[in-house]
């Protein structure tokens, strides 16, 4: 399944399996139809022969021996003709069943293919809906924190402004007066915190509900992931060997093709706000989605553990398996084969 140069790709194997299932089911249905058709034909001509024989016997019963011999010859002739007609009808019936089998095989193939595509779309929708739910909860928490921070900032700013004005009035009562330049400076200082807050609000990054382009994914990574040191080695500013950019599943499998079991890489996902961990197993590849829409990193639908950083998740599963059924341990990182690296656009 794509492990060697001469192996068929997964899509072709899937197509052949679906076609074979459709052909076998159509063949079983055709055999059942033929048994019914054969029984019908046999009964039809057996009854016809019995009726003809009864008629001949009734008409020739009292005829002389010579006439009986002639009647026998006539009966054999009729039977031969009936057998010939039976054989012709059998052949015609077989041809009809064969044509029905071919048509049915095509219908079943299309039905199975549509079911497979629907299943793939359903999986993608479930993954996206799960992340959307988590993302909404995280956004609400961030919005709540942001509102509290803005309120606190306004309170502190107003308090500072009020302190400045009180100090100015105190100086005035002590016999010192503010000239026009000082009043302008005071007014400017008093309004600057609110203006700064307004300017900062206009540049706030608002994440869309789902990634819809490479540019949006790159912006998301720069705004949300670089501050969380996603892709970096622990305690250094070097990019981790296992980290890759926005590459497809096929590109990831090509990188892992000739690697040993346990080799892995992490790539930026184009389906969800997060990543895909591509893993080389003995019989092929596995791909796990990593949710990064909240304030933690975790596998979608596989492992409930939450990790503060992407590196924490990777290091954790160097010692602990990802799934009990697969026993996946992250043993060897798969590095870059391109220059510049495929993650370059994320850090430009």
Which helix (H) or strand (E) segment is 278 a member of? strand 274-281
Instruction: Tell me the pairing of strands 332-333 and 263-268.
Output: parallel
Alpha-helical runs (H) found in the chain: 10-60, 65-173, 180-202, 214-220, 249-256, 310-316, 344-347
pLDDT at 185: 36
pLDDT at 151 over 70: no
User: pLDDT digit string (tens) for 225-241?
Assistant: 999 999 999 999 999 99
Phi, psi of 286 (to 5 degrees): -130, 150
Rounded to whole angstroms, the Cα distance separating 125 from 43 reads: 56
Where does the pLDDT of residue 311 fall: very low under 50, low under 70, confident under 90, or very high at 90 and above?
very high
Rounded to whole angstroms, the Cα distance separating 239 from 230 reads: 9
Alpha-helical runs (H) found in 203-230: 214-220
Say if residues 243 and 231 touch (Cβ distance below 8 Å): yes
Q: Which residues, 6+ apart, have CB-to-CB distance to 85 below 8 Å? A: 45
Rg of the chain's alpha carbons, rounded to an integer?
40
Look-up of token digits 């590109």 = 251
What is the CATH code for 214-346?
3.30.505.10
For residue 291, CA distances in Å to 27, 295, 297 come to: 46, 10, 6
Rounded to whole angstroms, the Cα distance separating 348 from 346 reads: 6
Which helix (H) or strand (E) segment is 274 a member of? strand 274-281
Rounded to whole angstroms, the Cα distance separating 302 from 317 reads: 12
DSSP 288: E
User: pLDDT digit string (tens) for 64-87?
Assistant: 667 777 778 888 888 888 888 888
> What's the N-to-C CA distance of the chain in angstroms?
37
pLDDT at 100: 85
Which helix (H) or strand (E) segment is 303 a member of? none
pLDDT at 246 over 90: yes
Rounded to whole angstroms, the Cα distance separating 323 from 290 reads: 14
303 CB neighbour count, 10 Å cutoff: 18
* Mean pLDDT across the chain: 78
More confident residue, 234 or 141: 234
Q: Which two tokens stand for residue 60?
A: 């020739």
Q: Which two tokens stand for residue 308?
A: 């503060």
Q: Which two tokens stand for residue 280?
A: 């080389």
Counted residue by residue, the chain has a size of: 348
Rounded to whole angstroms, the Cα distance separating 62 from 72 reads: 14
Q: Which two tokens stand for residue 346?
A: 């994320």
Domain boundaries, the chain: 11-118, 214-346
332 CB neighbour count, 10 Å cutoff: 15
User: pLDDT digit string (tens) for 163-210?
Assistant: 554 344 344 434 433 333 333 333 344 333 333 433 444 468 888 888
Q: Which two tokens stand for residue 316?
A: 């954790």
pLDDT at 36 over 80: yes
Q: What is the dihedral of CA 168, 170, 173, 175, to 10 degrees?
A: -70
């Amino acid at each position: 399944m794509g492990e060697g140069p001469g192996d068929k790709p997964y899509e072709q194997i899937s197509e052949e399996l679906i076609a074979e299932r459709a052909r076998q089911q159509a063949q079983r249905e055709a055999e059942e139809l033929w048994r019914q058709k054969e029984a019908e034909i046999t009964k039809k001509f057996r009854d016809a022969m019995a009726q003809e024989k009864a008629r001949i016997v009734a008409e020739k019963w009292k005829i002389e021996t010579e006439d009986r011999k002639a009647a026998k010859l006539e009966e054999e002739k009729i039977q031969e003709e009936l057998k010939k007609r039976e054989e012709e009808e059998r052949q015609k019936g077989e041809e009809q069943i064969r044509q029905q089998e071919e048509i049915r095989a095509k219908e079943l193939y299309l039905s199975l293919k549509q079911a497979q595509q629907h299943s793939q779309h359903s999986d993608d929708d479930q993954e996206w809906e799960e992340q959307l739910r988590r993302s909404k909860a995280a956004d609400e928490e961030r919005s709540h924190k942001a509102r509290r921070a803005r309120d606190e900032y306004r309170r502190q700013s107003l308090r500072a402004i009020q302190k400045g004005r009180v100090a100015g009035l105190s100086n005035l009562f002590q016999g010192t007066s503010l000239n026009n330049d000082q009043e302008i400076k005071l007014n400017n200082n008093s309004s600057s915190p609110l203006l700064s807050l307004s300017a900062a609000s206009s540049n706030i990054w608002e994440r869309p509900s789902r990634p819809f382009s490479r540019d949006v994914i790159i912006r998301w990574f720069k705004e949300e992931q670089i501050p969380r040191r996603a892709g970096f080695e622990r305690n250094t500013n070097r990019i981790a060997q296992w980290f890759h950019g926005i590459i497809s599943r096929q590109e990831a499998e090509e990188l892992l093709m000739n690697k040993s079991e346990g080799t892995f890489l992490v790539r930026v996902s184009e389906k969800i706000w997060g990543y895909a961990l591509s893993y080389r197993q003995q019989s092929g590849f596995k791909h796990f989605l990593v949710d990064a829409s909240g304030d933690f990193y975790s596998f979608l639908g596989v492992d409930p553990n939450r990790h503060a950083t992407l590196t924490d998740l990777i290091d954790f599963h160097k010692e602990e398996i990802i799934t009990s059924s697969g026993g996946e341990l992250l043993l060897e990182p798969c590095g870059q084969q391109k220059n510049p690296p495929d993650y370059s656009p994320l850090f430009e």
